[in-house]
């Protein structure tokens, strides 16, 4: 097992990883930008190294500075968390070349699954259902239009190297296709430096259901339940829950089997998430694979009682998974709400500033993952998420009530938040009935849900 791990991230996920390391007797190294000199992860780690100014490209995306910090402090491994360099195959490769273990899949697998069009081809070969669409990358609008005519509208235009909702546009007809293709491709170039695109038949207002898997280097792959992430805005998830209220156990088991098959098809090792779109008839299709830990991983941890980050570290150290598939049990229902410093009534505009006072909820079955505290400065440089509230209860109705109580109890003074907005969603009849799909938030904001 490792003696010392560097966490190449910030915020609540850095704190989450530090806590897992502490429980395993592993020392930690935090890295931070000058804007984060008073961040909680800096105080909690055994050592901390400043790696640059506030801009992510100069700090948390500064590969040379991060590897230098790891080697200089004697780390054996690096945990990238989510976002930033977590799915950067160049970073994973350079870790390996510098004698550092990257706590995640190999750079080759990151490349294979990170390119969405290549991942589609791999899934087709493995027999995992995919949304009808193109089989190769597209670069020109004319050739893409010809392919779109064969698929039929509405069309989802996606960046091959995409993620986080960037480089995605829906074309409703041939009339708007060229414009939507150009916008999506421009976003892809700006965000990923890649103009490769692919097309899929757009499934109107589907459910977004994902399966958590973890695999070791000894050939063991298991699924750890499903998560319904359909409550989202502009492809950004807001509320996640497990299990999904939409699918039955027969469909659920098929999802689990195909998720494991997908991981096996690419020789996957470590934690990953297979994301599916599910249509109104409960037909499901592979969407993409996230080759990292997810923001919503606590939902899975609460319902399975498996410490996912701990398993990631063990697997990276070459150990076998601590449990087999027949020892995975689902306990009740879990829900996560992301609390952001933003103003929903102003188009979800970020609300940076100082948190003057904060009270976090608690009690049986309530977990809060956060890196904020009284006097903490929410800066404009990074993601606006300041906390995640996760609850677990015997059933979905009880979980909703427990989350409502937690949101009502939470107090944040000094910055605007989406607390009231999240609370209103939980009181909505459509959500409570399990009827929220990916178009729910848009209808909810118009008063139509």
Give me the active site residues, please.
292
Report the C-alpha gap between 63 and 88 in whole angstroms.
10
Report the C-alpha gap between 181 and 145 in whole angstroms.
9
Secondary structure (H, E, C), the chain:
CCCEEEECCCHHHHHHHHHHHHHCCCEEEEEEEHHHCCCHHHHHCCEEEEEECCCHHHCCCCHHHHHHHHHHHCCCEEECCCCCCCCCHHHHHHHHHCCCEECCCCHHHHHHHHCHHHHHHHHHHHCCCECCECCCCECCHHHHHHHHHHHCCCEEEEEEEEECCEEEEEECCHHHHHHHHHHHHHHHHHHHCCCCEEEEECCCCCEEEEEEEEECCCCCEEEEEEEEEEEEECCEEEEEEECCCCCCHHHHHHHHHHHHHHHHHCCCCEEEEEEEEECCCCCEEEEEEECCCCCCHHHHHHHHCCCHHHHHHHHHCCCCCCCCHHHCCCCCEEEEEEEECEEHHHCCEECCEECCEEECCCCCCEEEEECCCCCCEECCCCCCEEEEEEEEECCHHHHHHHHHHHHHHCEEECCCCCHHHHHHHHHCHHHHCCCCCCCHHHHHHCCCC
The answer to whether 160 touches 115, Cβ cutoff 8 Å, is: yes
**Which among 209, 291, 305 has a CA at the least distance from the CA of 252?**
209
Q: Which residues of 159-192 are buried (b: 16+ CB within 10 A; e: fewer)?
A: bbbbbeebbbbebeeeeebeebbeebbebbeebb
The answer to whether 434 touches 335, Cβ cutoff 8 Å, is: no
The answer to whether 39 touches 11, Cβ cutoff 8 Å, is: yes
Write phi, then psi, for 287 (nearest 5 degrees). -110, -55
Task: Give the tokens for residue 264.
Answer: 């096996």
């Amino acid at each position: 097992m490792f003696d010392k791990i560097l966490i190449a991230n910030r915020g609540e996920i850095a704190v989450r990883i530090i806590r897992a390391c502490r429980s395993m007797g592993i020392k930690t190294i935090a890295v931070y930008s000058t804007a984060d000199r008073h961040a909680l992860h800096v105080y909690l780690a055994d050592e901390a190294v400043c790696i640059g100014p506030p801009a992510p490209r100069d700090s948390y995306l500064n590969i040379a500075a991060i590897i230098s910090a790891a080697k200089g402090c004697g780390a054996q491994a690096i945990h990238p968390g989510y976002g930033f360099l977590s799915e950067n195959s160049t970073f994973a490769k350079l870790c390996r070349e510098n004698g550092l273990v990257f706590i995640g899949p190999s750079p080759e697998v990151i490349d294979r699954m990170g390119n969405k069009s290549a991942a589609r081809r791999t899934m087709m070969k493995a027999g995992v259902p995919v949304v009808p669409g193109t089989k190769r990358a597209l670069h020109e609008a004319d050739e893409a239009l010809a392919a779109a005519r064969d698929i039929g509208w509405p069309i989802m235009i996606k960046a091959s190297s995409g993620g986080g909702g960037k480089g995605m546009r829906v074309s409703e007809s041939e009339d708007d296709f060229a414009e939507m293709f150009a916008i999506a491709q421009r976003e892809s170039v700006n965000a990923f430096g890649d103009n490769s695109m692919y097309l899929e038949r757009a499934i109107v207002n589907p459910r977004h259901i994902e399966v958590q898997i973890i695999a070791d280097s000894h050939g063991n792959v298991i699924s750890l339940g499903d998560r319904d992430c359909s409550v989202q805005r502009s492809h950004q998830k807001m509320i996640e829950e497990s299990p999904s209220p939409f699918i039955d156990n027969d469909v659920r088991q098929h999802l689990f089997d195909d998720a494991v098959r997908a991981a096996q098809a690419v020789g996957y090792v470590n934690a990953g998430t297979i994301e599916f779109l599910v249509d109104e008839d409960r037909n499901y299709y592979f969407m993409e694979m996230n080759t990292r830990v997810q923001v919503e991983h606590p939902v899975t941890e609460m319902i399975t009682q498996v410490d996912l980050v701990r398993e990631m570290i063990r697997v990276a150290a070459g150990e076998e998974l601590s449990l087999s598939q027949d020892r995975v049990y689902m306990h009740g229902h879990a829900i996560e709400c992301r609390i952001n410093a933003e103003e929903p009534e102003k188009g979800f505009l970020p609300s940076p500033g100082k948190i003057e006072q904060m009270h976090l909820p608690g009690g049986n079955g309530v977990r809060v993952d956060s890196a904020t505290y009284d006097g903490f400065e929410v800066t404009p440089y990074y993601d606006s998420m300041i906390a995640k509230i996760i609850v677990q209860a015997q059933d979905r109705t009880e979980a909703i009530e427990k989350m409502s109580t937690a949101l009502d109890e939470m107090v944040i003074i000094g910055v605007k938040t989406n607390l009231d907005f999240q609370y209103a969603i939980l009181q909505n009849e459509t959500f409570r009935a399990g009827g929220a799909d990916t178009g729910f938030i848009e209808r909810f904001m118009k008063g139509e849900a």
